[in-house]
Chains A and B, each alone.
Chain A
């Protein structure tokens, strides 16, 4: 299963954190920063798999000995300024996870046309909605982009008009602020 989905930008600022187990906030933060450290030092030509950070490798000594509950693989993928990370157990296929991240980003791209980091900062809730249409409780429930976006649109459909205005405002906001490098 998938244990966590993380999104952070090139500066290590989180944009989305979703843990499929309950974890206290401090541990979450140290996990994020440790994974960011790992991602940051990898060249763009490197493969999309990370070694386990120290905080995760403590209990996972028997990683190769077949399936277990402990997370053993971290798959990441970087798009422009954002890195998408999935932490999973060995029951997930590593290559399929790379594709799953791709599906996630493409679904976001449909929700926010031509998606960029700022869209996700302001469309924080929508991003969570997209994710919850794809993964529930760490299990993948949908990989079809059409169905994912349809699911999110039914959710936000009741606020359809507002949604459209919001999208416009987001686009305004994006343009309106010069020097957005260090948005939090």
Chain B
């Protein structure tokens, strides 16, 4: 409505805030192109007049032409108007228009064609495909009228895609246009080619474009330079030929400033690919930086220098003074910012010598950045200053951490982008002293946001309870900075931001194995709070984005909720001192009654948090406040709907807690009735899961179900005391050495036994086996087959025979995690001998996989099994890899409790990951490696691939060929390769010409028409250049196009 008519510059946002380049004020008084508003603008006559006049812009200067257009076809104006009147049924209308355009664009009338094309281009902007019109685009491009030609070229820019085939038809027309005497005409191909260039086209056009570098008009020269750059991206050879000339323009003092700027911009794009080639330019760049006074160019030069300085330390010294000079004097914020940025990125602050001077510069930069944040209310400056600080913080964390107050304020900024930057920065500067304050502030922020959200959701009126709890939170002794988080700053935080904050809090606290956390009880409390503050979305994008395709160990995407659960588990495992507190926190989260209170409503956060938490509850069951309630919560029937991976962990926890409960109840008089009741309920729950669709859940459920059923049976028979199955055997399943954290890379270091062949197939014809199996399943009743399978081992049905033969079933009790002999290692020779025996024995068993490593201790179960199975079960021979615990001890961090606030003065010992040998390949690297590998193929959208330039060496001096400098043989090889490449391109072009015969239907159709117009002796070449023919003809007719139109009509 009215806003459409709003003057863009009138309501311009923040117009004068960032205007360093010294732009003049707005020009509002140039009335040349407007005749003023007609007074009677509402009546239809002038409306129609508008239509007519608009058509004139497409090159029909006569009223006759115009009126004809009005009657028979739509102009762009009509199209736009029609779109407006067909609101709701727009798509239908557009389809109608497209049909019309399809007809019009085939017309012989160039005006009609161009108008139709313009309409198509307009519709293309809204996503309506016009790739089918590619040939017509070429036709319009070949028009002799500039404005029509312009429409054609615009069509090429907007609609040609890499698979557009007609482009090769255009070569000659492009050649002709490039050398056109009229500057506008020759600019068209120059600005269009960057969008449509292909290697073969680049090769053919290169000489013509090169010649334009010496054109008399600077407008042409600057466009040519940029065009050559884009040519070079697809055809690196082009740069080799054009670089000397571009360099001449750059070096020339008399050159137009626009051309120099364009050349600098191009060099800036090329610079980071091959910085070595541009080092010789440094003196000239320096001169331009100091003398030109053009801020746009200065910014680019500084950017360029930032890539050059790492290669040439002497540059650093030379640059330091002018840069500081600019920083101190300039009023242009963008230039100031780029100077600081250049100093940071160019590594000028990094060197060893001149320490004092460097520190001065560093503090000058930081001071200026602080000024940008504090003095200016402009959010853009705040944002970029934080960006720059984020870059400095890696090298000069101390300098940045001095600015902590400002950064903390930015954490509460109204702008989420600024907050995110500040958040990243905060993560970089926290120390053990500031960590709690920062984290508390962030958590309070989330609390206020979620409370206001809840208030909005439930009751728009004032909710006293929520407010009081918010106040309580802000008045808590830890929340020193909470006063900043007033209700006025509590803007509606998007859930992505909230997720990001939680992720950052976890990053901050867990970095370098909790080095900065002093008070773990506080941390556990924060973690529990965070669970309640999670945004309701399940899968968050954070980890998907930053670590593409990274999967956590148990094969699921890491969600932030899962991270919190894992953090609680990590703290419980690693920090023995707070294990009871962590377990109790886990217990409180686990209880069924608490779930609705502690977890955000209506989310699937529950699933992700509960898994690791259940593990903690089970593993450290002795720390539980009420194992009874914990077990009740674990076997609550509602749990059956949880996700499989959560259920797996639940199942593992149930017997552990049961054992604990058993231990405490064993002394009671009523143990028997209570225990059997409980057992029955646990068995009930397990039976529920015994048919779970997830195999892993099912397996675990059945395992424990059978064991506990045995227990229940024992209870029935043995009346006097708790059966030993329940008192000793089942508990012993879960006892042994304490479980310690393992480094993720440790598994990789377990040496594979040489006999393990992972790459070989189990059976040559595995699909065949399954086919047979399927057929058998169809014929025989499944149940009976299964029964036979289990109960009649020797008389297996003949249909099963192939499978059975291939896979002889052998009862083999694999090693459990617990029942190996710990500590003692047998003599190597004995081990070796046993290994050989085993290898021999299992040589033909396709299902046998040599066990890797296991750790644990001897347990009663082991003894039980050993006595029943005798030596046949060769558990002792399982190779045990000795964990080098020294490394782990090295990693243990002894933290002195520095803060007096700490409640318990006990030292918190954080267990580090255990691993073998030296951790030379950190997991992070290998992960990064894989992601880099994967992203290497998948390049980002919109990305222009300039990697081809990486291999190119620029012949900087014509007399000194850089190739000669290298090895003689290499040089010849390279030359030969280049020749081959050129030949290939030439042949490609030749074949493209031949392909012309078989162009798609669109093309042939038009060609026929043309043939009828064309003289037969024009020959084959003429087919490829309809432009020339057309051009000649029109010249003959003296540009009287309209006359011919009417003839056609």
Q: Which residues of chain A have a CB within 8 Å of any CB of chain B? A: 1, 3-4, 9-10, 13-29, 31, 41, 43-51, 54-62, 64, 66-67, 69-71, 77-82, 87, 91, 93-96, 98-99, 102-103, 105-106, 108-118, 121-122, 124-125, 128-129, 132, 136-145, 147, 151, 154-159, 162-184
Contacts and interface: CB of A to CB of B under 8 A. Distances in A.
Interface string B211-233: 00000000100110011011000
B226 A25 contact: no
A99 B7 contact: no
**Best-buried of A31, A77, A159 by chain B (most CB within 10 Å):** A159
11 contacts: A25-B124, A46-B417, A69-B940, A71-B943, A98-B334, A98-B380, A136-B226, A154-B184, A158-B147, A173-B54, A181-B2
Nearest to A131: B191
Interface string B381-421: 11110010001000000000000000000000011111010
A84 to B, nearest CB: 9
A180 to B, nearest CB: 4
B81 interface: yes
Contacts of A147: 219, 258
Contacts of A54: 541, 545
B205 interface: no
A130 to B, nearest CB: 12
A167 B891 CA distance: 75
A25 B129 contact: yes
A58 B701 CA distance: 40
Given A21-B944, A46-B417, A163-B57, 11 more contacts: A64-B391, A81-B6, A91-B303, A118-B4, A125-B118, A136-B190, A136-B226, A159-B59, A180-B5, A181-B1, A184-B126
Interface in B1-58: 1-15, 18-21, 23-24, 26-38, 41-42, 46-47, 49-51, 53-54, 56-57
A118 to B, nearest CB: 6
Interface in B291-326: 296, 299-300, 303, 307
A175 B28 contact: no
A143 B35 contact: no
A22 B11 CA distance: 34
Q: What secondary structure prevails in chain A residues at the interface with B?
A: mixed
A20 B941 CA distance: 11
B65 interface: no
A78 B37 CA distance: 27
A159 B57 contact: yes
Name the interface size band of chain B.
Answer: 35 or more
B41 A176 contact: yes
B271 to A, nearest CB: 8
Nearest to B938: A59
Given A80-B10, A168-B34, A41 B127 contact: no
B548 A67 contact: no
A52 B42 CA distance: 45
Given A91-B303, A106-B26, A181-B3, A43 B414 contact: yes
Contacts of A4: 942
Nearest to B129: A25
A172 B77 contact: no
A98 B296 CA distance: 12
A17 B49 CA distance: 30
B54 A166 contact: yes
B4 A22 contact: no
Interface stretch (B262-270, B475-483, B600-608, B988-996): B262-270
B49 A172 contact: yes
A46 B265 contact: no
A16 B50 CA distance: 23
A64 B559 CA distance: 24
Given A80-B8, A109-B8, A25 B127 contact: yes
Given A80-B6, A141-B258, A125 B151 contact: yes
B307 A162 contact: no
B224 to A, nearest CB: 9
Contact of B296 (A60, A96, A105): A96
A168 B383 CA distance: 43
A111 B161 CA distance: 31
A115 B545 contact: no
B742 interface: no
Given A69-B939, A71-B940, A124-B76, A80 B7 contact: yes
A16 B8 CA distance: 15
Nearest to B17: A98
Contact of A141 (B33, B222, B345, B491): B222
B665 interface: no
B232 to A, nearest CB: 11
A70 to B, nearest CB: 4
B673 interface: no
Contacts of A167: 33-35
A56 B941 CA distance: 6
A165 to B, nearest CB: 5
Given A3-B942, A99-B18, A168-B35, A79 B9 contact: yes
Contacts of A151: 219
Contacts of A62: 932, 935
Contacts of B965: none
B154 interface: yes
B941 A55 contact: yes
Interface in B893-925: none
B53 A129 contact: no
B19 A99 contact: yes
Contact of B337 (A64, A93, A121, A138): A93
B217 to A, nearest CB: 10
Contact of A179 (B1, B334, B417): B1
Contacts of A122: 54, 76-77, 80
Contacts of A64: 391
Contact of B34 (A13, A23, A113, A142): A113
B383 A71 contact: no
B35 A139 contact: no
A175 B127 contact: no
Contacts of B36: 168, 171
B81 A177 contact: yes
B300 to A, nearest CB: 8
Contacts of B50: 169, 172-173, 176
Given A66-B272, A154-B183, A173 B77 contact: yes
Contacts of A125: 118, 150-151, 154
Contacts of B719: none
A180 B1 contact: yes
Interface string B533-554: 0000000010001111000000
Given A1-B944, A99-B334, A140-B265, A20 B194 contact: yes
Contacts of A121: 80
Contacts of B384: 49, 94-95
A109 B126 contact: no
A59 B935 contact: yes
B154 A79 contact: no
B146 A180 contact: no
A54 B497 CA distance: 15
Nearest to A50: B417
B644 interface: no
Most buried by B among A70, A136, A138, A156: A136
10 closest Cβ pairs, A-B complex: A137-B194, A59-B940, A95-B334, A47-B379, A80-B6, A181-B1, A79-B8, A168-B35, A175-B41, A70-B940
A139 B229 contact: yes
B4 A117 contact: yes
Interface stretch (B83-91, B674-682, B852-860): B83-91
A173 B44 CA distance: 11
A32 to B, nearest CB: 9
Nearest to B159: A25
Contacts of A70: 939-940, 942-943
B288 to A, nearest CB: 15
Contacts of B21: 96, 99, 103, 143
B84 A141 contact: no
Contacts of A57: 545
